[in-house]
Amino acid sequence: MKTGMKGLRRVSAVAITAGAVLTAGAFTASAQAATTATPTIAAKGGFVMNNGTGKSLFTKAADTRRSTGSTTKIMTARVVLAQPNLNLDAKVTVQKAYSDYIVDNNWASSAKLIVGDKVTVRQLLYGLMLPSGCDAAYALADKFGTGSTRAARVKSFIGKMNTTAKSLGLTNTHFDSFDGIGHGANYSTPRDLTKLASSAMKYSTFRTVVKTKSTKQKVTTKSGGYRYMSWTNTNNLLGSYSGTIGVKTGSGPEAKYCLVFAATRNGKTMIGTVLASSSVDNRTADAKKIMDYGFKQ
């Protein structure tokens, strides 16, 4: 009889232990489900993918066309870097038209280029991507477009932007400006902009520029002397989100607050876009949320 009681106790203990394991397992599964719940973002559109596999990990109105603001400048840089026999150290003289453009457009952000200075193409790329200089964008469009007049060269350059978009399969993308200050037909989608950024990140110069928090560049003045230009990156993810490697901010009255972003952790790279977020802080928070979500997948 005693032996029977011991056996019963052992069976009961096993049953209780098994039940505890099952209960703990259920709690663990529940906790994991909670931590990987699809995030809610302030932006009207969002997308993130694994850059290595191309797998989509988060979508919100990912194929809805929206104004892109200065994230347009990713394509400006991409067109420049794809030029045959590109000399990044070639010098460009800053024209009055570039600074006048800043004055004439209220939403134009500036690299504060000084008329008569000679800056290299590489320096213009820093001025384009860090402080989001519309004057730098204009200089690059003027330099790398073709035509006998500045207007013709700019038109030609924007044409190259659209040709490149087609070649990359960006079917919901169109540009009518070199910097994102559009004229009614400058748009893209979170998915398309992410694909564009992924393509641009294949260029080592682009990767170097967009992960730079700040830079001090020595440029030649009109008189033959030199001055230093200091530029700080507008991408708040740099320094605030571990593993951030780029990419580009954007804003505007129609675009609201946009961000194309990328980060690498443990050999995995997330790349994505948020469009039409409600503030600078929210676009940064949105990007962090959906990258966190992507890294957990």
Q: Could you tell me the residue ranges of all domains in the chain?
A: 45-296
Q: How many C-beta atoms surround the C-beta of residue 234 within 10 A?
A: 18
What is the pLDDT at residue 10?
47
State percent of the chain over pLDDT 90.
86
Note the pLDDT of residue 183: 87
> Is a pLDDT exceeding 70 seen at residue 22?
no
73 is catalytic: yes
- Chain center to CA of 204: 16
Q: How far apart are CA 210 and CA 83, in angstroms?
A: 19
Pick the CATH number of 45-296 from 3.40.710.10, 3.30.1860.10, 3.90.1150.10, 3.40.50.300: 3.40.710.10
Residue 27 has pLDDT above 60, yes or no: no
The H or E element containing residue 275 is: strand 268-277
Taking 70 as the threshold, does the pLDDT of residue 9 lie above it? no
Cα–Cα distance, 99 to 233 (Å, whole number): 20
Mean pLDDT of 199-212: 98
Q: Of the residues 73, 160, 195, 289, which is catalytic?
A: 73
Residues in the chain: 297
pLDDT for 38-54, tens place per residue?
999 999 999 999 999 99
pLDDT at residue 87 tops 50 = yes
Q: What is the pLDDT of residues 266-289, one digit of tens each?
A: 999 999 999 999 999 999 999 999
- For residue range 154-197, list pLDDT tens digits in order: 999 999 999 999 999 999 999 999 999 988 899 999 999 999 99
Catalytic annotation on 177?
no
Helix (H) or strand (E) holding 88: none
Residue 210, classed as helix, strand or coil, is helix
Question: Which position has the higher pLDDT, 3 or 97?
Answer: 97
At 35, the pLDDT band (50, 70, 90 cuts) reads low
pLDDT band at 12 (very low <50, low <70, confident <90, very high): very low
Residue-level pLDDT at 106? 84
**Tokens 């860090």, residue?**
130
Which residues are CB-neighbours of 223 under 8 A, at least 6 positions away? none
Mean pLDDT calculated for residue range 235-248: 97
Residue-wise pLDDT for 47-80, tens only, equals 999 999 999 999 999 999 999 999 999 999 999 9
* Tokens, residue 57: 């990990």
Question: 187, exposed or middle or buried, with CB in 10 Å at 0-12, 13-18, 19+?
Answer: buried
Q: What is the pLDDT of residue 4?
A: 52
Of the candidates 60, 67, 70, 289, the residue annotated as catalytic is 70
pLDDT for residue 21 is more than 70? no
Catalytic residue chosen out of the listed positions 67, 110, 132, 198: 132
Q: How confident is the model at residue 107 (pLDDT cuts 50, 70, 90)?
A: confident
Omega within 30 of 0 (cis) for the link into 247: yes
What is the average pLDDT across 243-268? 97
According to DSSP, the β-strands at 56-60 and 66-67 are unpaired
Residue written as tokens 């794809």? 82
pLDDT at 16 over 50: no
Tell me, what's the pLDDT at 127?
98
Of the pLDDT bands very low, low, confident and very high (cuts 50, 70, 90), residue 15 is very low
Identity of the amino acid at 39: P
Pick from 107, 93, 186: nearest CA to 139: 93
Enumerate residues 6+ apart whose C-beta is below 8 A from 62: 45, 46, 47, 56, 189, 190, 191
132 is catalytic: yes
